[in-house]
Structure 1
Amino acid sequence: MKKAILISALLAAATASLAGFAAAQSTLATAPETATVNSIRGVDPETQVTVNPVYHQEEGRKNRNYRAQPPIIPHTIEKYQIDLHANECLACHDWKNAADRRAPTLSMTHYTSRDGVQTDTVAPRRWFCNQCHVPQVDAPALVDNLFKGSEE
């Protein structure tokens, strides 16, 4: 008896789903082909919009706002390749290259595996630098920011 009730309930649900799908298909079929899309910006979507850069990259090291904050990148990384096969940040910041390039060396935490083993290569979990580190730019604030660093 319970199986019969369950099967009939499932069939009713499937029938309702198919009916809703058919209604949606018929609505789409009758929609005019010249439907317009309204843009949030109030611009025709077909119009090419040019965007001027509103910021410039700041050079030099920045102070951190709290003790465990990852350092901010003081240079552009716009064309850097950081993927599974390459990481251009290591060309300067890897411990083997940092002295020659006069760049800060990565923290030893970047050379520690998830099991706590120290290695000579960057740990896979620390490979994608821009996962924690971001370039510093002089950009206008999009929203009010009331954040105060731990030293203030």
Structure 2
Amino acid sequence: MRPRLLMGAMVGATLIAGGTLLAQDAPRLRGPEPFTREQPAPAMQRPVTNDLRVRRNYPDQPPVIPHAIEGYALDLNANKCMSCHARRFTEQSQAPMISVTHYQDREGNTLGGLAPRRYACLACHVPQTEARPLVENRFTDMDALTEPERHPGSRSNR
């Protein structure tokens, strides 16, 4: 009888704890309507197309795309990005050349062309839009963490 009573108490405590967790206010990423109700898609946000390079927040961060890419072909047969960013086209296009790491395999061996694992540019590089953030961003730049005296507004000084 006692094991059943103990098991019942454990199940009851689990249900109470689970209900408490579900009742907490978590940030909603989909809006005020329940996810089960179909809604029209929000309007597409305007892309940032100023062609200005954006400062990176940490070493080896992939650069963001500062121009529109709508209609760019990026499939097995074509990679529109390489028509400007490949080494042989950068002088004419004035686009930055892709990193030499894009011509290396997993072992660091230099290849004669673009590494297959680096072919899908949008896996790492993203275009920017003028959209408002869906949730609060508390990101602290790496420089603010390593040099707090030069960045008085950083979180590490609070």
TM-score where L is the length of structure 1: 0.64
- Alignment partner, residue 129 of structure 1: 121
CA RMSD in angstroms, aligned pairs only: 2.2
Identity %: 39
Please give the alpha-carbon distance, in whole angstroms, between the structure 2 residues aligned to 1:132 and 1:93. 15
- Alignment partner, residue 40 of structure 1: 34
Alignment deviations for residues 65-102 of structure 1 (CA, whole Å, 9 cap, x no partner): 11120111111112111112211000000011111110
Please give the alpha-carbon distance, in whole angstroms, between the structure 2 residues aligned to 1:91 and 1:144. 37
Q: Which amino acid aligns with 1:125?
A: R
Count of residues paired in the alignment? 111
Distance 1:91 1:150, change over 3 A: same
| Superposed structure 1 runs of 4+ greater than 4 Å apart | none
Alignment deviations for residues 47-74 of structure 1 (CA, whole Å, 9 cap, x no partner): 8x36434444242110101112011111
Mapped contact 1:111–1:123 kept (Cα < 8 A): yes
Mapped contact 2:47–2:128 kept (Cα < 8 A): no
Unaligned runs of 5+ in 2: 1-32, 145-158
CA positional deviation for 1:119:
2.4
Distance 1:119 1:63, change over 3 A: same
Rg comparison, structure with higher value: 1
TM-score where L is the length of structure 2: 0.62
Distance 1:65 1:102, change over 3 A: same
Mapped contact 1:74–1:136 kept (Cα < 8 A): yes
Secondary structure of 1:96's counterpart equals helix
Please give the alpha-carbon distance, in whole angstroms, between the structure 2 residues aligned to 1:63 and 1:90. 22
Please give the alpha-carbon distance, in whole angstroms, between the structure 1 residues aligned to 2:47 and 2:118. 28
Q: Which amino acid aligns with 1:123?
A: A
CA positional deviation for 1:143:
0.4
